[in-house]
Chains A and B, each alone.
Chain A
């Protein structure tokens, strides 16, 4: 396993260099990212803000390897994501990265525990016997252990997002990426989710979070703004 706790590595975890992404549209290529340079250190809580259509989702999808860049480099913990095949990225992501989507994206037929153990199953990361226990532990951590045997459709959206976060933690990754994880939730529920993220940062995880909400951004250690496919302010320190 390539997992680590960051003690003996360099400070830098993510490094994006001159990242471009063009979408193919009927009207020709549409540049969504126009040269992104960014470096994120271990343990950072980074938020990405910007107007709708600025390119935030595009950037996060490219970093997670869910989409591939048109050009440029993505190196995470020394791994050249941009140069890997989709399967290699999938494996790498499974081991090192937790992804949280706006629409939770849980598997409807599985109960909450199984949704989490599935992630361990694909990476074969914990012994079969321990997986369930670990899943329960993670559900406890996100505060919904009492619903462990329900299917996603039987719990609320905020609860589903908690499960999605627990699932992102299944293989104990060092990095969590989330695209508008509270975008679909009311503000009180969103606040709870945000608390969870802060706990993760306290545990030493690195967090990259896309949001529309400047309030959320204010709780991050750093916030970058994207406009028109470019980072417009380099370093804005949080409070």
Chain B
């Protein structure tokens, strides 16, 4: 088959410059694949997680009620506004996993044959457990290593142990899975709960409304209506109504807000990747054209018109684009599959087919084609715009420009004492400023992103340590129903090694607005003004003092919800049906506790009628500092034993380190994904540097020949090139370091906001800065090794031919 000579030229040029062609193709592929990976991964996650969630008919409202029986639910379902109401009771217990006792929550479901909301999906066994049987959530079953037919031993709060047969394994999308909460989950009948020694009653209901299911205001109003018109008139007390999830809208998956926020961050990063690869394409195409200017002139001297030349190079780019696309589509799919798999394991959902939507396919095609062509259009136009005369005879013109970078040269003059090869490298570095700028921008962005990910991690850790100030104990044990504070504290202090024991009282309250309307439900904490197990970070005002009675300190979470509240102002709280006015004296930082108000212990006793009672005892071994994890565990064991023997509590004790370890594992997966994105950016950056170095070496063929001719050793030539690569890397590192301060804040805030809907306590990561320094030096060396090798291999003949 005959082929037009101009296409032969393009194909042969591509082939003769394979590594550079590869570079352009990879640049396109990485950017387009990143977009594909994130866009498709997001779509698959949303399709499979949210889809399955919706398919199980999610409820929109939880109503927490004093102990009730099923009849109350029948009454609630009688309301026209209510579609379904399902009674539930969840009790905490311990389960033995052959090694340790782990937490398990057992949820009572009245009728396993008819679960109208938040449906479970059977994975194995039978869907209807009989008495003494349990359905285990699949992640819990896997975590505990049990199968259908096995027995699990649970220990109830009264210390008695029972064997439950696992009659089935189910999939539950409506609660935080084992991988995140670290708490196993099982479902039982009420009869089983009774057999487990508990009184048979329900404590909350899951409600789905008949209409406006996604209207938050409506759903909450319906909750209030149910409370005021049905539940409370029937003699029950509603402690709280809320929409399930972390800031979710009604009917949304419980983690939809944080997940979507996180996906948005990834989306933004993928857009950055495509911009960076566009920059790379511009850089390389400019270099190709610069190198081909004389050839363009020759072609025009033998009859080519401008449009023919333009067409040739556009086709050249199109071939790159198509090859890049061919790589990008499967790469993107692979990445999407990876993201999907990670998310599915973590969030406990089933991954559907890893397909690609026509929309995304079109987007990828358009991006892969349009991005490089758009990026290359200007250099192509500029390249063909040069007159034939200049193209053929004045090719050297370009380098003349390079001589007039006065400031930098002057600077270099001052650095005269540097060795000649290094000086040469430095001068070379600034030879082509546009190209340098592009490389610099790419590497700087990659670096800033990389450091930002680390700063986000450091900030999260810092955030946790800030939160730890509010959980400033070694161990704590809850005393459900309340025990005498002084007895309990004395008992705790009898444990050898315990220096501080503090009883706190906990209750709930509702904020009443100045117009009498009910506002946020909050947690009310009664504690000694000089409590040692809290080290509040005061944002405004002051902490409680000895003389405070009707004074309260609120946290910032409450301030966000209730704009009326301010330091020095009044706060009306409804507690046990009684409204009272308190004075706000201070605001603490957010601490992942939800809305809270702190009040003096004695006042708490007065207003709740629970004088001298404590709901939790918090202990410390050392007044000066928090103990290490193993000491905390020991203290917790001793505390459990002591309180059990003294018949104060049969609960298991918490330790500070255990509370935070779950957070850390959730962060780690998020940081892993962020680091993958940063790595993609770093790859794009190093591709850019490799390209730039290759082009620089090519353009300097003659100069290198001269260097060789005057006796420069192979090593000296290599050193010139590698030094240049490292210098570019180091400059970009410096710029990246500066840029990473704001970008780290933005990324960290976005992540923290997505995950906790709270503000970031920003901490810059100097470790990240250090790691990036090492990486950038490696990139600088690696990216220049191949070009350096080429430079070393240049023969005198090639140098002379180069002209």
Contact = CB atoms under 8 A, between A and B. Distances in A.
A105 B303 contact: no
Interface in B1-49: 2, 4-6, 8-9, 12-13, 16
Nearest to A67: B389
Contact of B8 (A93, A106, A114, A123): A114
A66 interface: yes
A118 B3 CA distance: 11
Interface in B387-417: 387-389, 392-393
B392 to A, nearest CB: 7
A95 B304 CA distance: 11
20 contacts: A61-B389, A61-B393, A66-B388, A67-B388, A91-B303, A94-B302, A99-B301, A101-B392, A107-B295, A109-B13, A110-B8, A114-B8, A114-B9, A121-B5, A121-B6, A122-B308, A128-B4, A131-B5, A132-B2, A167-B302
B304 A122 contact: yes
A90 B305 contact: yes
B161 interface: no
A103 B392 CA distance: 10
Interface in A61-104: 61, 64, 66-67, 86-87, 90-91, 93-95, 99, 101, 103
Contacts of B389: 61, 66-67
A128 B2 contact: yes
Given A101-B392, A110-B9, A118 B299 contact: yes
A119 interface: yes
Contacts of A95: 303
Contacts of B307: 87
Interface in A131-163: 131-132, 153
B392 A105 contact: yes
Given A90-B305, A94-B302, 6 more contacts: A86-B306, A93-B301, A118-B5, A119-B303, A131-B2, A131-B5
A86 B388 contact: yes
A105 B298 contact: yes
Contacts of A114: 5, 8-9
Contacts of B620: none
Interface in B292-338: 294-295, 298-308
Contacts of A87: 305-307
Contact of B4 (A99, A101, A105, A121): A121
B801 A153 contact: yes
Contact of A122 (B12, B302, B388): B302
A180 B1 CA distance: 38
B803 interface: yes
B508 to A, nearest CB: 80
A161 to B, nearest CB: 14
A110 B302 contact: no
B303 A110 contact: no
Bin chain A's interface residue count. Answer: 35 or more
B9 A122 contact: no
A118 B8 CA distance: 9
Nearest to A106: B298
> 9 nearest interchain CB pairs?
A94-B303, A118-B5, A67-B389, A109-B12, A122-B304, A117-B5, A119-B302, A87-B305, A121-B5
Contact of B6 (A91, A118, A132): A118
A128 B801 CA distance: 31
A167 B303 CA distance: 11
A170 B298 CA distance: 14
Interface in B124-180: none
Name which of B12, B303, B306 has the most chain A CB atoms within 10 A of its CB: B303
A129 interface: yes
A121 B308 CA distance: 10
Give the dominant DSSP class at A's interface. Answer: helix
Given A61-B389, A66-B389, A117-B5, A90 B303 contact: yes
Given A109-B13, A110-B5, A93 B387 contact: no
B9 A107 contact: yes
B301 A64 contact: yes
Interface in B263-310: 294-295, 298-308
A184 B563 CA distance: 87
Contacts of A118: 5-6, 9, 299, 302
Contacts of A171: 303
Interface string B507-524: 000000000000000000
A171 B304 CA distance: 13
Contacts of B4: 121, 128
A177 to B, nearest CB: 10
Contacts of B295: 107-108
B390 to A, nearest CB: 9
Nearest to B14: A109
B484 to A, nearest CB: 93
B392 A66 contact: yes
A116 B6 CA distance: 11
B2 to A, nearest CB: 5
B801 to A, nearest CB: 6
A94 B392 contact: no
A103 B803 contact: yes
B2 A122 contact: no
Contacts of A101: 301, 392
Interface in A13-27: none
Name which of A90, A106, A110, A170 has the most chain B CB atoms within 10 A of its CB: A90
Contacts of B301: 64, 66, 90, 93, 99, 101, 105
A87 B389 CA distance: 13
A87 B13 CA distance: 24
Contacts of A105: 294, 298, 301, 392
A221 B593 CA distance: 103
Contacts of B12: 109-110
A121 B6 CA distance: 7
Interface string B44-60: 00000000000000000
A108 B698 CA distance: 15
B302 A170 contact: yes
A229 to B, nearest CB: 17
A123 B305 CA distance: 9
Interface string B365-407: 0000000000000000000000111001100000000000000
A90 B309 CA distance: 12
A94 B308 CA distance: 13
A93 B16 CA distance: 30
Given A109-B13, A114-B8, A123 B294 contact: no
A91 B9 contact: no
A85 B6 CA distance: 23
A87 B300 CA distance: 8
A67 B392 CA distance: 10
Contacts of A108: 295, 801
Contacts of A99: 301-302
B382 to A, nearest CB: 15
B16 A122 contact: no
Contacts of A110: 5, 8-9, 12
Given A66-B392, A105-B294, A123 B5 contact: no
A122 B6 contact: yes
Given A109-B9, A110-B8, A170-B302, A86 B2 contact: no
Nearest to B2: A128
Nearest to A87: B305
A86 B302 CA distance: 13
Given A66-B392, A110-B8, A90 B304 contact: yes
Interface string A41-62: 0000000000000000000010
A29 to B, nearest CB: 16
A93 B302 CA distance: 7
Contact of B300 (A90, A117, A132): A90
Contacts of B6: 118, 121-122
Contact of B303 (A93, A107, A128): A93
Contacts of A167: 302
A200 to B, nearest CB: 17
A199 to B, nearest CB: 21
